[in-house]
Structure formats: structure tokens, C-alpha cells
Amino acid sequence: MTTDLPTLSDQQIVNLRPDRNSVDPSKPYAFMVEDECSASGELTKVATLFLTSSECAFRCTMCDLWKNTLEQPVESGAIGKQIRWALNELEIDLAAPQRQGISTIKLYNSGNFFDNRAVPRNDWPEIIELVAGFESVIVENHPKLCKQNCLEFKSLLAGRLEIAMGLETVHPQVSRWLNKQMCLEDFQEATQRLISHDINVRAFVLLRPPFLTEQEGVYWATKTMEYAFDCGVECCSLVPVRGGNGVLDQLQKRGEFTPPNLKSMESTLVAGLHMNRGRILMDLWDVERFVTCHRCARDRQNRILQMNQTQTVIQGDECGNCG
């Protein structure tokens, strides 16, 4: 790959975007109960809420999460209303969710939980009350925004706090191109600050960002997981890079970006599990978009799902078509 990658300004990134999706500020744009292997190795049920929130202040080149965000700050009270509405729709008993086998809640807001535009601090008391019955609460946040407010929120929770942060990649040139406005040391410092206050950390790791071949994509995702564990994270969440955000579509037309395939998703997950340093979870959202070989697709998807849930390597037969 070339070492000199094009630099895009925030405005250039925004100008390339397609239209946003229509979202309702009173409801999450998606919600579900999903199975996830816990840090203790048990398969647990997680209530996952994708909150409708204000757009992240950072304009990362690979991100498509802005599609389901608001262009204005969230109104006070809206986040609590969304949480209450979604848990009611999922028929989760607020007083005792663990009796239903649901021990964890994810409050993902397509950006930064500790950005006052996205989650008003005045809403914290209601949020704390709504999640009091859960053993663990997971939110997402930019490393540069992991300050004292994270520690204060954690002190109010009845359960544990886990913060998911985007490390993305340790590839020197690609990391700068992402426009994430942080360096690796920022991630390391944020991680160490959080774990020193008994807050768990998971890292988002990109699989095959632009300008990398399939083989390079797997290699750099593996190197990024190694760095994340060196920093002290407990879990790496692997995110296959997909198009659709404008910037990546332009690069794909020029042959400078191709999404990873299922074979790479499986081999990267296996490489992470072989490290035996913490949980590795492969994101299977829109997994059909990464199918390039229909002969082995279903078997690979099933193996990835099983490895996500068991954290155990499952060897599959070699595909006669794609290897």
C-alpha cells in the first residue's frame, strides 16, 4: 500500500455522505436481547439498546453510525424515556431483569455516552435508576472523553461499568487517515485510567479498513488486538468494515477499499482466540454483506457464532471453492 494516504477534512467527509435515516428521538432506533459470552465464560443474555442520540463530534472516515443520529442535542429526559420504552417492549422487568436471565445492558448511542449533547448529565439519575437491576452496564465513548465524568457515573451505578472504545487499528498510516483525532497513547492512557478505577474496557478493532489487502487486513487486526490486550482491555470486539457512508463508497469505486470476506472474519477471530488473553467477539451485524463464497458461507457463519458464544476455537473443513 502507499504510505502517503489522502487527508480529508471534516467538511469533505460530511459532503460525501448519503442521506441520514429518519429516526424518532423518543425511541431507540434498534433494540434486542442477544447472547454474549461474559468475562467469566458464561453465555449470558444482554439487553442491547441503540439509543437515538446526537451525532458524535468526531468525523471518522470509516464511520456510518451518524446515519441514525440527530443533528441537534438530545432533549433532557429523552434518553431515560428511550430506555424505559425499549425495556418495556422487550418485556424486561426493571425491578429484577436477572430473574429473566438478563444480567447486562448495553447503552450504545452511536457516539459518546459521556458527551453532554448526546446524553445530558441531568439525565443520569433517571438512567441510574432504570439500570439498577443489571449486573453490568456497557456504554461506548471516545478515549479522549474518558475523564472524571466516567468515574463519577461509575460511582453511582449499582452494577459494574464497562466502556467500549474505538482503538480501530494500529496501522500507522491508516490510523491517521481515520481522522479519529487520537493517537495510540491516548487509547492506552484512557484504558489504564479506567481499569485503575475498576472499570472494564473493551476495544473496537477494525477488520480490513481501506488501503489494505485481505491478508493485510487480517494481519493488522491481529496486531491491533495484541496492542489492545497489552493496554489492559478485557475484550476485543472485531468490526468488519463495510461501505455505505460515502467516503468508503468512493474508495471502493477506485479500488482502494474492499470489505473483508467471511473467511477473513473467521481466521481473525481464531487468531484472537488463540492469544488466550481475553474475550474476542466478531460482529455479525449485516453479515450477509461479507459473503463472497456461497458454498461455505453458512458453515462459516455458524462457526463464528459458536466461537463468539463459547470462546473456543472450532476448526472447519477447508472449502473447495475459496480455501
Q: How far apart are CA 34 and CA 259, in angstroms?
A: 25
- Asked if residue 285 is part of any domain, the answer here is yes
The count of C-alpha atoms lying within 13 angstroms of the C-alpha of 101, restricted to the half-sphere facing its C-beta, is 8
Strands 136-140 and 30-37: unpaired
Rounded to 5°, angle at Cα 147 from 142 and 152:
120
Is 302 domain-assigned?
yes
Query: In the prediction, which pLDDT does 4 show?
Result: 78
- 133: domain range? 11-16+23-310
Grouping H, G, I as helix, E, B as strand and the rest as coil, residue 161 is: strand
Per-residue CA distances from 254 to 113, 224, 247, 258 (Å):
35, 26, 11, 10
Mean pLDDT, residues 285-311: 96
* Residue type (1 letter), 306: Q
Q: Given pLDDT bands bounded at 50, 70 and 90, which one contains residue 71?
A: very high
CA distance 268 to 288: 18
Q: Number of folded domains in the chain?
A: 1
Res 5 pLDDT > 70 = yes
d(CA 88, CA 34): 16
What's the mean pLDDT in 161-187? 98
Which stretches of the chain are DSSP H helices? 10-15, 78-89, 124-130, 148-156, 172-177, 184-195, 214-231, 247-253, 262-275, 297-310
- Other CB atoms within a 10 A radius of the CB of residue 39 amount to 15
**200 beta partners:** 162
Asked if residue 318 belongs to a domain, the reply is: no
CB neighbour class for 283 (10 Å; exposed up to 12, middle 13-18, buried from 19): middle
- For 208, half-sphere exposure in the C-beta direction (CA atoms, 13 angstrom radius) is 24
Whether 323 maps to a domain, the answer reads no
Check residue 229 and give its pLDDT.
Answer: 99
Q: What is the pLDDT of residues 217-275, one digit of tens each?
A: 999 999 999 999 999 999 999 999 999 999 999 999 999 999 999 999 999 999 999 99
d(CA 248, CA 255): 10
* pTM score of the predicted model: 0.97
Note the pLDDT tens digit of each residue in 207-228. 999 999 999 999 999 999 999 9
Residue 5 included in any domain: no
Asked, for residue 290, whether it belongs to a domain, the answer is yes
C-alpha cell belonging to residue 19? 442521506
Q: Whole-number mean pLDDT of the chain? A: 97
pLDDT tens digits, 143-160: 999 999 999 999 999 999
**32 occurs within a structural domain:** yes
Instruction: Please indicate, yes or no, if residue 6 is contained in any of the structural domains.
Output: no
- Indicate the pLDDT class of residue 3, thresholds 50, 70 and 90: low
DSSP 229-297: HHHT-SEEEEEE----SSHHHHHHHTTS--PPPHHHHHHHHHHHHHH-SSEEEE--TTGGGG---TTTH
The CATH number assigned to the domain holding 195 equals 3.20.20.70
